[in-house]
Amino acid sequence: MARSGYAALIQEGAAVQKHDLLTDFTHITPTAHIATSLHGWRAKCLQRLVRLDLPVPQTVALSAPTVRAIASGQMVDCRAILQVFGAAALVSVRPSPENPDWGGPATILNVGFNSARHRLMVHTHGQAAADMLFLRFVQSYAIHVARLDPDMFEGLDPGAEGLREALRAYQQEMDEPFPEDPAQQLADVLRSMSRAWEGTTARLLRQAKGAPAEAALGLVVQQMAQGLGQGISGSGVIQFINPVTGDRQVKGRYLGQSQGRDALTQGGAIYLTRDKRGPSLEDLAPDLFAELVRQGEVCRQRLREEMQIEFTIEDGQLAVLDAVKVQRSSRAGLKIAVALARDGIISTADAVLRVEPRALSELLHPQVDPQGPRDVFTRGIAASPGAATGRIVFSSQAAQASAARGEPCILVRRETAPEDIRGMHSASGVLTERGGMTSHAAVIGRGLGLPCIVGASDLRLDSKDRKLTARDGRVFREGDIITIDGTTGEALVGAAEMLPPAQDEAFRQLLTWADELRDIGIRANADTPADAQTARDFGAAGIGLCRTEHMFFEEDRLVVMREMIFADTPKDRAAALERLLPIQRKDFGQLFEIMHGLPVCIRLFDPPLHEFLPHTREGLRDLAEALARPLSEVTRRAEALAEFNPMLGMRGVRLGVVLPEIYDMQARAIFEATVETVRKGAPVVPEIMIPLVSARREVELVKTRIDAVAAAVRTKTGVSFDYRLGVMVETPRAALRAGEIAQHAAFLSFGTNDLTQMTYGLSRDDAGRFMNTYVQEGVFPEDPFHILDVEGVGELLLMGAERGRRTRSDLTVSICGEHGGNPESIAFCRRAGFDYVSCSPYRVPQARLAAAHLALTEPLVQKAVEN
Ligand code: PEP
Ligand code: MG
């Protein structure tokens, strides 16, 4: 075993002469120069406690450069440090990194314990206490400092025999007796802690928690306040907040005749507050308890944080050893921030900054309890957050039947298609074998707030035999219970333990503060009245994208839609559209009503028509029956509509140009709904958006007809209204030609799902198959359907916005692809001067908070904002 103890260093006289002992350490007093960046958060926090006049034992801080020097072979003057504490003091050494989340080596207590100290303690505290304390020190020294095998030092008899055994084992392993010199002990402890910090595992662990590669460690050496003595003596931990709910509540434990965090780990600890279940510190020592509560309040007020305080009582004397930020759930974190701001302890801006935007999604959906057991049988892309448990179903019909029986179900499909929409509405969660972040299941799942995993490509799905085989061979059948964790992308066997959602009053308050701060608008993508209501409830400033085709998948409309598709003549088509008109008018009227004067941007029909046709023989037969046509004809027509590459085929504005009656009907429905709403006294300015544009002429053609429909509706109803016509930029050519396209558009909205697909030439529905490998191999830094590719697609956004605005300075520019809800994309769009982002309703709260963070941390030149 390599030994590098203080004694060894002294023997290496040359080394000591070369590197004189360092004298850079600082006694923590109210006025000493202690900085978080130099000495770490714990040293700074202890200085604050000292300044608050709390009974903190004497403490010395070692700066990060000193600790680094120790790790590389130098040593600090340990005798000089020990002199600060007076003769025969015992000390503890604790890590003090710049950020408490970065962890650090284990605290070592009772440094300085030796035979002489042991003898003394036998007199003052009795044999048992002296043996116990010495043994514990030898154990932690052997394991953490000398790095001996823990097996030899654990499970020993806690009395004299165990102590002898431990000292013997130490000597045997180290070829020298246990060190008696306190300065040597301290030096070895400092060295081992410094080096532990430099180790690869520790570095990777802290980097995973966000620490920079060069993160440094400070150390604090503190006089031990023993929780052992004749009078009331012991140690404990107290906090004033429930770490899960954030409610105010005294929590913690106290254990007589103990030290460190024994009260939390050993039996016999008592409650802090009076409690029917057993004795408490409040009963035992009411004055000390009251003093602790007072100190807790001082900490909250002055440290501006909910702290957990580690304390000892030695013969009735209270000492505060340490205070750390209370570990907390996302829900508690939000509640704590709001309460601190309401109590005037922090500003509302600080409260907003203290809550991570991504943490909000945990509050909107039930979550799998991270403490509970997890039996994962597959992993895929975490496409829509939240968790749900239910019985497996393999078809939309089975999902609907399950919902009708009141049984939650998880819809498992190879991939979903528009005809699965009703099944998705009925399911509690969705799991698909294929697909990526913007595949149908993912987009609809997020829209509905439905937990969803896509691209679980190691599953083998046999929908005919209705079974699912996991990679490890486990087979699941229809009716088996599973849990979908859409937050992590893991599917679990059985019903996992869950935490409920928490959109409480504090949640709403924080977002109201965020809205006062942010400077980019947040709208929602909402297709149905239910979506629109969710969008409003979550504080969206309007609807940025209403995908009207989703309205046609309801059973009653689908038949009419199919009739329209199968119409032989323009007259027949017009008749079918005439039947769709009132349905659409009602849809739009409901949206206008729910949104109550907020802008509603309606995208005209986008998908290829054949998506509305059945894909199975059985479905075709049903359709033939419904249309009263021969099966052969229906099949032939359906086949004729099929395309080799439908996403690049007859869809979007191309349909609008080739079959203009569809857009005419939609425009009429929008304008008539506008008139009805205006007549009810509510203001509406509808926005109409043309999808998949690639040329100016497409916009001209559609605009001419829509203007004509508007004029006709105005004339017929005698009601005047305005509308705004805009273009969805989702082909690279539309971005490049945005200058001329903007001649006819009041707004441009970037559809980054298709734009990403077309910029990369990468199918958004198939990307899941290789995306993991691509990201792992570093081909893409991230899934570009998930995180906006700012270099490529982003350049098209910048170019399109700039060219469009050069034509029309008042052009409204926005993004409505799924990226719209990501904090990174919001930052990009905000810097590019976009007016708003639009995202799934359930992502609106996160987007509002992220936008406020950006406004606080990245000031921009002031601009007018749609709110
Ligand atoms: C897009 O392409 O970015 C978009 C929002 O439209 P959809 O997802 O409906 O194709
Ligand atoms: Mg699109």
Q: How far apart are CA 81 and CA 28, in angstroms?
A: 12
Q: Which protein residue has the closest C-alpha to ligand 1 atom 6?
A: 751
The ligand that comes nearest to the alpha carbon of residue 749 is: 1
Ligand 1 nearest-atom number relative to CA 752: 3
Q: Span 523-552+569-607+651-842: which CATH code?
A: 3.20.20.60
Cα–Cα distance measured from residue 611 to residue 426, given in angstroms and rounded to the nearest whole number: 21
Torsion, CA 777, CA 780, CA 781, CA 787, rounded to 10: -140
Q: Which of 520, 356, 517 has its CA nearest to residue 856?
A: 517
Yes or no: say if 717 and 675 are a contact pair by the CB < 8 Å rule. Answer: yes
Q: Which of 730, 757, 814, 836 to mutate to test the pocket of ligand 1 (most atoms within 8 A of CB)?
A: 730
Q: Is the CB of 751 under 6 A from ligand 1?
A: yes
CA of 817 to the centre of ligand 1 (A): 5
CB 58 within 8 A of CB 93: no
Q: Are 25 and 186 in contact (CB under 8 A)?
A: no
Q: Is the CB of 549 under 6 A from ligand 1?
A: no
Closest of 419, 666, 672, 661 to residue 547, by C-alpha:
666
CATH of region 366-499, choose from 1.20.1440.230, 3.50.30.10, 1.10.3720.10, 3.10.129.10: 3.50.30.10
Q: What letters, b where the CB count within 10 A reaches 16 and e where it falls short, cover 351-376? A: bbbbbbbeebbbbbbbbbeeeeeeee
Identify the nearest ligand to the CA of 525 by its number.
1
Same fold? 5-114+179-223, 523-552+569-607+651-842: no
| Ligand 2 mean position, distance from CA 430 (Å) | 22
CA of 756 to the centre of ligand 1 (A): 10
In degrees and rounded to multiples of 5, residue 846 shows phi and psi of: -60, -40
pLDDT at 851: 97
Query: Is 365 tagged catalytic?
Result: no
Residue range 783-817, pLDDT digits in tens: 898 889 999 999 999 999 999 999 999 999 999 99
Question: Residue 867: its pLDDT value, please?
Answer: 46
Closest Cα to atom 1, ligand 1: which residue? 751
Biggest alpha carbon distance in the chain? 108
* Residue carrying structure tokens 């003093």: 291
CB 387 within 8 A of CB 365: yes
Instruction: Judge if the beta carbon of residue 730 lies within 6 A of ligand 1.
Output: yes
Single out the catalytic residue among 440, 744, 786, 819: 440
- Domains of the chain by residue range: 5-114+179-223, 234-325, 366-499, 523-552+569-607+651-842
Cα 322 off chain centre by:
30
Residue 150 C-alpha to ligand 1 middle, in angstroms? 58
Q: Count the alpha carbons within 13 Å of 517 in the hemisphere toward its beta carbon.
A: 26
- Which residue positions in the chain have pLDDT lower than 50? 1-18, 864-865, 867
The reported pLDDT for the residue numbered 598 is 96
Beta bridge pairs of residue 429: 410
Q: Which atom of ligand 1 is nearest to the CA of 757?
A: 2
| Ligand 1 near 440 CB (within 6 A) | no
Q: Which atom of ligand 1 is nearest to the CA of 750?
A: 3
- Give residue 861's pLDDT: 57
- Specify the residue for token string 């002992």: 21
Q: Which ligand neighbours the alpha carbon of 611 most closely?
A: 1
Q: Determine the distance separating the centroid of ligand 2 and the alpha carbon of 750, expressed in angstroms.
A: 9
Least Cα distance to 751 among 731, 724, 725 occurs for 731
Provide the pLDDT for residue 862.
Answer: 52
Question: CB–CB of 721/714 below 8 Å?
Answer: yes
Asked if 450 contacts 419 with a C-beta cutoff of 8 angstroms, the reply is: no
Three-class secondary structure of residue 562 per DSSP: helix
Can you give the pLDDT at residue 417?
Answer: 83
Residues in the 5 Å CB sphere of ion ligand 2 = 730, 751, 754
Q: Ligand 1: does its nearest atom lie under 6 Å from the Cβ of 430?
A: no
Closest CA to 667 of 758, 565, 584: 584
HSE-up of 353 (CA within 13 Å, CB side)?
A: 10
For ligand 1, atom 8, the nearest C-alpha belongs to: 753
Q: Which two tokens stand for residue 214?
A: 């060069």
For ligand 1, the distance from its centroid to the CA atom of residue 655, given in whole angstroms, is 16
Of residues 420, 419, 415, the one with CA closest to residue 433? 415
Backbone phi and psi for residue 297, each to the nearest 5 degrees, phi listed first: -65, -40
Contact criterion met (CB below 8 Å) for 506 and 334? yes
Distance from residue 798's CA to the centre of ligand 2 (Å)? 18
Contact 608, 646 (CB under 8 A): yes
Residues 107, 698: Cα–Cα separation, whole Å: 70
SS3 242: coil
Strands (E), 560-631: 600-603
Q: Residues 6 or more apart from 739 whose CB is under 8 A from it? A: 803, 804, 806, 807
Distance 757 CA to ligand 1 centre (A): 10
First to last CA, the chain: 67
Q: Which of 299, 601, 816, 839 is catalytic?
A: 816
Q: Can you give the pTM of this predicted structure?
A: 0.80
Please name the residue whose Cα sits nearest to atom 9 of ligand 1: 547
Spatial contact of 35 and 42, defined as CB atoms under 8 Å apart: no
Helix (H, G, I), strand (E, B) or coil at 854: helix
Cα separations in angstroms, 327 against 244, 336, 823: 9, 11, 24
To test the pocket of ligand 1, the residue of 444, 606, 690, 754 to mutate (highest count of ligand atoms within 8 Å of its CB) is 754
749 Cβ below 6 A of ligand 1: no
Name the residue with tokens 């120790």. 70
Atom of ligand 1 nearest to the CA of 753: 3
Kindly state if the Cβ of 97 falls inside 6 Å of ligand 1. no
Domain 5-114+179-223 has CATH 3.30.1490.20: yes
Residues 6+ apart with CB under 8 A from 810: none
> Token pair 């913007």 is at which residue?
438
Q: How far apart are CA 605 and CA 603, in angstroms?
A: 7
Ligand 1 atom at shortest distance from the alpha carbon of 525: 5
H/E run at residue 747: strand 747-750
Q: How much distance in Å is there from the Cα of 452 to the middle of ligand 1?
A: 18
CB of residue 816 inside a 6 A radius of ligand 1: yes
Ligand 1 atom at minimum distance from 816 CA: 5
Q: What is the structure's pLDDT at 784?
A: 92
pLDDT of residue 19: 52
855 lines ligand 1 (CB under 6 A): no
Superfamily of domain covering 234-325: ATP-grasp fold, B domain (3.30.470.20)
User: Judging by beta carbons within 10 Å of its beta carbon (0-12, 13-18, 19+), is residue 22 exposed, middle or buried?
Assistant: middle
- Ligand 1, closest atom to CA 547? 9
User: How much is the pLDDT for 18?
Assistant: 42
451, 472, 457, 462: which is closest to 377 by C-alpha?
472
Distance, C-alpha 682 to centroid of its chain: 38
Q: How far is the CA of 818 from the centre of ligand 2 (A)?
A: 10
Distance between CA atoms of residues 501 and 361, nearest Å: 9
Ligand 1 neighbour 510 (Cβ under 6 A): no
Q: What integer pLDDT is reported at residue 301 of this predicted model?
A: 94
Could you confirm whether 78 is annotated as catalytic? no
Task: Kindly give the interhelix angle for 115-125 and 127-140, rounded to the nearest 10 degrees.
Answer: 150
